[in-house]
């Protein structure tokens, strides 16, 4: 069996779909509840970057490729952003993800 066939079998199970939906909800919640003042809290900012990275890696497997791309782009952009730019970039990412979730 090919790698894509194995992934399809794994991601197609009801249990894996439920886990992904829970991960998607947690991803959206963590991003949407991230506030500008958290940009200066190294742990909270690191947690956000970690969530973006993890979600970007699995989203496409479950048919949420656009969300995965937004998460990956957000991770890369924020990782190299100056602290003074983070709040503006996070707001833009929040809007883009919200629009995608509403599709």
pLDDT at 56: 96
Mean pLDDT of the region 86-95: 97
Q: Where are the domains of the chain?
A: 3-101
Using alpha carbons only, give the angle 74, 90, 83 rounded to the nearest 5 degrees. 95
Q: What is the largest CA-CA distance in the chain?
A: 49
For 12-64, what is each residue's pLDDT tens digit?
A: 788 999 999 999 999 999 999 999 999 999 999 999 999 999 999 999 999 99
- Select the more confidently predicted residue: 1 or 20: 20
- Residue 7, pLDDT above cutoff 60: no
Q: Please tell me the distance from the alpha carbon of residue 58 to that of residue 60, in angstroms, as a whole number.
A: 6
The pTM (predicted TM-score) of the whole model is 0.87
Q: How confident is the model at residue 5 (pLDDT cuts 50, 70, 90)?
A: low
Question: How many CB atoms lie under 10 A from the CB of residue 18?
Answer: 10
Which among 54, 69, 71 has a CA at the least distance from the CA of 20?
54
CA 92 to centroid of chain Cα atoms:
14
């Amino acid at each position: 069996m090919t790698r894509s066939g194995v992934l399809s079998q794994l991601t197609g199970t009801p249990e894996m779909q439920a886990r992904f939906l829970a991960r998607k909800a947690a991803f959206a919640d963590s991003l949407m509840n991230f506030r500008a003042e958290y940009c200066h809290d190294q742990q909270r900012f690191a947690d956000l970057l970690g969530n973006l990275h993890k979600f970007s890696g699995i989203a496409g497997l479950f048919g949420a490729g656009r969300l995965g791309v937004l998460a990956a782009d957000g991770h890369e952009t924020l990782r190299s952003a100056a602290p003074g730019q983070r709040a503006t970039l996070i707001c833009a990412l929040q809007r883009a993800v919200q629009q995608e979730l509403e599709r």
